[in-house]
Structure 1
């Protein structure tokens, strides 16, 4: 409760400092953060403000892979999905193409579950591994992925991304590469050097620094 109160105070300070800006949208990239921020009553801190997941924001702005997509992906829908406006798979397919297949079952990470209860997490992991192998087979059978080679699984949760990275060697015919949807899009649209290029621009005055 104290942390929530402290954070709300901090956001009020941010709002006062940035009162010359008309902040109407707060973009998040984590379902747990989304749910937590909803309890902060952002509409009272930033009047008329909304909270939206970054993937839904990109779709709203018409930023998709388009012709650059089309490749086959697996998609892991987080237990705490940040996508609230429509069925997450509809958003994912609109962003990266129709060649994406949903892969069910919890990844076993669940925030700190993998650390605090490894016994439970390990059992969940075995079931997810089975699901990944089934997804791999279906993706290869559809022709969206080659018969041999690595398969990429996308997600929209930082905790799940960490959890999925543990399955790298568990496929039958290749490695499993886990990544964030928005990172895959940045790589395809902006190029492989998108991150260092962004950091360089940000460090050269591309970000406004505010003391609160």
Structure 2
């Protein structure tokens, strides 16, 4: 069972699915991708930092090592570092206690600004040659099924209006909280797997997926 939320992971872990479906296991989507060898071979023109959720779904390895492996940052001559402090969202905290959340937000914004300034000071590495796998030829089916596929972001369709610094996370609540800093801190927040999908499958990857799902696709909901 593949999940993309730490809260969901911990809740589902208590259901003991392995007793219902022998051999069943729960794994975060990002760990699953790395396990299958799906990763980028660097990203040209964009620097990343990582916000580690308080309630992380990544259980089997260090999250910072994981995001570096998935994004291929070493190819760009730097390492993605953890950006400290809580994002201030904390589920419904921003709604129920905006006074506390706002104070947390100020401190997080300072950390984001410092992290972004550090990343912008790192010289960009010249774009690699065109001898890597071309993600423009990848599809949702082939990309997901391939093992050991190192994909060169930049060879395929590029995200529109890409910013030079982004902060990645693996938590839906944190993503909502981090998005509040986009304008004030001059960065853009996103999910790791969504950023990968944009570079591998193109900016319209979600629209294409929905069309395929509606055109003969199958969705099963376990209740």
Q: TM-score range by the shorter chain?
A: 0.7 to 0.9
Determine which of 85, 89, 94 is the counterpart of 1:109: 89
- Between 1:31-40 and 1:65-74, the stretch displaced more is 65-74
Q: Is the 8 A contact 2:87 2:104 kept in 1?
A: yes
After superposition, residues 29-178 of structure 1 pair within 5 angstroms as 29-68=4-43, 71-98=46-73, 99=78, 100-144=80-124, 150-171=164-185, 175-178=186-189
Runs of 4+ with deviation above 6 angstroms:
none
Residue by residue, what CA displacement relative to the aligned partner does 1:167-206 show, whole Å, maximum 9, x if unpaired?
A: 11222xxx21111110000000011111111111100112
Q: CA RMSD in A?
A: 2.0
Q: Which has the higher contact order (CA 8 A, sep 6+)?
A: 2
Structure-2 change in CA distance of 1:31 and 1:130 (3 Å): same
Matches of 2:34 and 2:45 in 1, distance apart? 16
Q: How many residues align?
A: 181
- Report the Cα offset of residue 67 of structure 1: 4.4
SS at match of 1:169: helix
Task: Spell out, residue by residue over 1:24-69, the C-alpha distance to the aligned partner (whole angstroms, 9 max, x if none).
Answer: xx00000111011111111112222100000000000000012456
Partner of 1:187: 198
Structure-1 separation of matches of 2:167 and 2:67:
12
Give the whole-Å Cα distance in 1 for the aligned partners of 2:123 and 2:198: 23
Structure richer in helix, relative to its length: 1
Shift of 1:211: 9.0
Flag structure 2 segments of 5+ consecutive residues without an equivalent.
Answer: 126-162
Residues in 1 aligned to 2:93 and 2:221: alpha-carbon distance in whole angstroms:
36
CA distance in 2, matches of 1:124, 1:150: 25
Where do 5+ consecutive residues of structure 1 fail to align?
1-25
| Aligned CA distance change for structure 1 residues 103 and 45 (closer, same or farther; 3 Å) | same
Greater CA drift, 86-95 or 135-144: 135-144
Q: TM-score, normalised by structure 1?
A: 0.80
Q: Determine which structure has more spread, i.e. the larger CA radius of gyration.
A: 1
